[in-house]
Structure 1
Amino acid sequence: MAGDSDALTCKNLQSLFSSFVDTFVDFSVSGLFLPPPPSNPDPNASLHTFHPSPDHLIAVGDIHGDFEKCKQSLLLAGLIDATGNWSGGSSTVVQIGDVLDRGSDEIKILYFLERLKRQADKSGGKIITMNGNHEIMNIDRDFRFITADSLKEFSNWAFWYNIGNSMKALCSGIVDLPSNPFCGVPIEFKGIRREFHEGFRARIAALQPNGPLSTRFFANNVTVLVMGENVFVHGGLLASHVNYGLERINKEVRDWINGVRGDLWRDIGRGSNSVVWLRKFSHELAESCDCEALEHVLSTIPGVKRMIMGHTIQWKGINGACEGKAIRIDVGMSKGCINGLPEVLEIAKNSEARVLTANPAYQDSDGARGVEVGGREGLAVVLENDKRKQVQVRA
Structure 2
Amino acid sequence: MTGILDDNLQWIGGDNTDFVHTGDVVDSPDTIALFQLTGRLYNESLTAPHGVYPLLGNHEIMNLSGDLRYVTAEDFKSFGGQKQRTEAWSQNGWIGQLLMNTLSNVTLDLDGNVFVHGGITAEWARMGVDGMNKVVKSAMRNRDWRNPVFGGEGPFWYRGYAQDSERSVCKELRKALKHMKAKRMIIGHTPQLETGQILSRCDGQVFVIDVGISTVYGANCAALEIVGDKITALYCVKGKPDQARRVDLTPKKKWKDDAEL
What one-letter code is carried by the residue in structure 2 that aligns with 1:358?
C
Alpha-carbon shift at residue 282 of structure 1 (Å): 0.8
Structure with larger Rg: 1
Change (3 A) 1:143 1:369: closer
Q: Deviations over 1:71-111 (max 9, x none)?
A: xxxxx11011122211112211011100011x101011110
Q: Write the distance in 2 (CA, Å) between the matches of 1:219 and 1:148.
A: 28
Deviation beyond 6 Å, 4+ runs, structure 1: none
Q: Aligned-residue CA RMSD in angstroms? A: 2.5
2:6 alignment partner in structure 1:
81
Q: Deviations over 1:21-50 (max 9, x none)?
A: xxxxxxxxxxxxxxxxxxxxxxxxxxxxxx
Q: SS at 2:34's partner residue?
A: helix
**TM-score normalized with structure 1 length:** 0.57
Q: How does 1:355-366 map to 2 (within 5 A)?
A: 355-358=233-236
Alpha-carbon shift at residue 127 of structure 1 (Å): 0.5
Change (3 A) 1:282 1:95: same
Aligned residues: 245
What one-letter code is carried by the residue in structure 2 that aligns with 1:327?
F
Alpha-carbon shift at residue 218 of structure 1 (Å): 4.5
Q: How does 1:359-374 map to 2 (within 5 A)?
A: 371-374=246-249
Q: How does 1:252-291 map to 2 (within 5 A)?
A: 252-257=135-140, 259=141, 261-264=142-145, 266-270=147-151, 272-283=152-163, 287=166, 290-291=169-170
Q: Write the distance in 2 (CA, Å) between the matches of 1:256 and 1:133.
A: 14
Alpha-carbon shift at residue 240 of structure 1 (Å): 1.6
1:92 alignment partner in structure 2:
18
1:314 alignment partner in structure 2:
192
Change (3 A) 1:331 1:289: farther
Alpha-carbon shift at residue 226 of structure 1 (Å): 1.2
Alpha-carbon shift at residue 114 of structure 1 (Å): 1.9
Q: Write the distance in 2 (CA, Å) between the matches of 1:122 and 1:245.
A: 27
2:89 alignment partner in structure 1:
207
Kindly indicate whether residue 215 of structure 2 is the aligned counterpart of residue 335 of structure 1: yes
Kindly indicate whether residue 29 of structure 2 is the aligned counterpart of residue 104 of structure 1: yes
Alpha-carbon shift at residue 153 of structure 1 (Å): 1.8
Q: Which has the higher contact order (CA 8 A, sep 6+)?
A: 1
Q: Write the distance in 2 (CA, Å) between the matches of 1:335 and 1:114.
A: 22
Kindly indicate whether residue 172 of structure 2 is the aligned counterpart of residue 293 of structure 1: yes
Alpha-carbon shift at residue 228 of structure 1 (Å): 1.1
Q: Which has the higher strand share?
A: 2
CA contact (8 A) 1:238 1:293 kept: yes
CA contact (8 A) 2:21 2:54 kept: yes
**TM-score normalized with structure 2 length:** 0.84
Q: Write the distance in 2 (CA, Å) between the matches of 1:277 and 1:266.
A: 13
Seq. identity, %: 30
Alpha-carbon shift at residue 373 of structure 1 (Å): 4.0
Alpha-carbon shift at residue 318 of structure 1 (Å): 0.9
What one-letter code is carried by the residue in structure 2 that aligns with 1:92?
D
What one-letter code is carried by the residue in structure 2 that aligns with 1:211?
G
Change (3 A) 1:92 1:373: closer
1:232 alignment partner in structure 2:
115
Q: 1:138 aligns with which of 60, 63, 72?
A: 63
Unaligned runs of 5+ in 1: 1-75, 156-198, 361-367, 379-395
CA contact (8 A) 1:97 1:130 kept: yes
Q: Write the distance in 2 (CA, Å) between the matches of 1:217 and 1:119.
A: 17
Alpha-carbon shift at residue 265 of structure 1 (Å): 5.9
1:344 alignment partner in structure 2:
223
CA contact (8 A) 2:107 2:115 kept: yes
What one-letter code is carried by the residue in structure 1 that aligns with 2:111?
G
CA contact (8 A) 1:80 1:88 kept: yes
Unaligned runs of 5+ in 2: 253-261
Alpha-carbon shift at residue 239 of structure 1 (Å): 1.7
Q: 1:249 aligns with which of 125, 132, 143?
A: 132
Q: SS at 1:282's partner residue?
A: helix
Q: Write the distance in 1 (CA, Å) between the matches of 2:199 and 2:168.
A: 13
What one-letter code is carried by the residue in structure 1 that aligns with 2:3?
G
